[in-house]
Amino acid sequence: MTDKQEVTSANNLETKQSDEHSVSMTELSNNNPQLGLKTNAKQIDVKPYDLAIKHNVIPERLMALEIVNERFARQFRIGLFNLLRRNTDVITAPIESQTFNEFSQNSSTTQLNLVHLNPLRGTCLFALSPELVFIVVDTLFGGEGRFNRIDELEGREFTHTEQQIIKRVLELALNIYQTAWADIYPIETEYVRSEMHSKFTNITSSPEDIVLTSSFTIEVGQFKAKFCICIPYAMVEPIKEVLVTPPIEQQPYQDDKAWLSTLTSGIKRSTIELVANFAEIETTINKLLALKVNDVLIIDKPTMLDVTVGGVPVLKGLYGKVNKQYAIQVEQVINPVLEQLNEEILND
């Protein structure tokens, strides 16, 4: 066989193997449609992923921000009670990370207030739901907090009176929120302006930027309303380490000393019962059962009396009369705590 014939045979063999492989794959695909390389279902499930956008996944838990929200909820409840003179409750929800576009869709009917948290760069939102505004208005004017259906009021602007009440509630919230941050990262809240639509706020450079939403449910009687604080993640990212590991609260020594002084003063004013055991008689059950009226029990006259408090000996003293009343003259202090308190009283 010549070299030319050998090359021709090799090419024919490769072509035959390739055709057999193609036929086998075609048969396999026909028998198992699920093994097809392209399916409509897979094409529908595919979503574009832009690496240039920060997606709403924050791996760290922002514990300090949770502490701020808890403090804010407690103090805001007290502030609303002082304003409305009605029992209120403020319930904190977990912090939610979402895109600003998602937040805008959920706050389409919310009164939005732009606020600076100096020295942090950027702007956050304090969002008051219409229900909260109408509950406060109705309560301040003597009502029970009732309001009409929100869908009937949608589209209209707040009246001058409602805007003034919103301003009072917002000032209260800003002052309390600033205080809640005091020992974590001192900030100063600054009101900028109000908007009714989130598209006019522009607190993020892109609708897909991450925001941290802290939601609160406010209950006034049987009526509920929403209040939330929306902070761009880029705004607090420079202090992320502070938010992840909040500083440990340390009370100054002066506070401990004042607390100890108050406790000591309260103990000194406590009312107790002193019991002086005048005599003890040892007897048997037979003699005790044989006792009758007018029987006489012989006792030894004690020289010293033991004075107890709750069964614990504290004093020894002599008994007698002063101004026609029985009395005890203290001869010995048994309890060292009483001796210390007595010395403090003498020094004072």
**318, 305 in Cβ contact below 8 A?**
yes
Pairing verdict, β 188-195 and 210-220? unpaired
Q: How large is the greatest C-alpha to C-alpha distance in the chain, in angstroms?
A: 151
Confidence label for 28 from pLDDT (cuts 50, 70 and 90): very low
Domains and CATH numbers, the chain: 63-244 (3.40.1550.10), 271-289+298-347 (2.30.330.10)
Pairing verdict, β 88-92 and 111-118? unpaired
Instruction: Tell me the per-residue pLDDT of 150-183, one tens digit each, with 9 for 90 and over.
Output: 554 555 677 788 888 888 889 999 999 999 998 8
Confidence label for 229 from pLDDT (cuts 50, 70 and 90): very high
Taking only Cα atoms into account, the Rg of the chain, rounded to an integer number of angstroms, comes to 41
Show the beta-strand stretches assigned E in 61-110.
Answer: 88-92, 96-99
* Length of the chain as a residue count: 348
Confidence label for 25 from pLDDT (cuts 50, 70 and 90): very low
Three-state DSSP class for 92? strand
CA–CA distance, 119 with 306 (Å, rounded to integer): 69
Q: What is the pTM of this model?
A: 0.55
CA–CA distance, 127 with 138 (Å, rounded to integer): 19
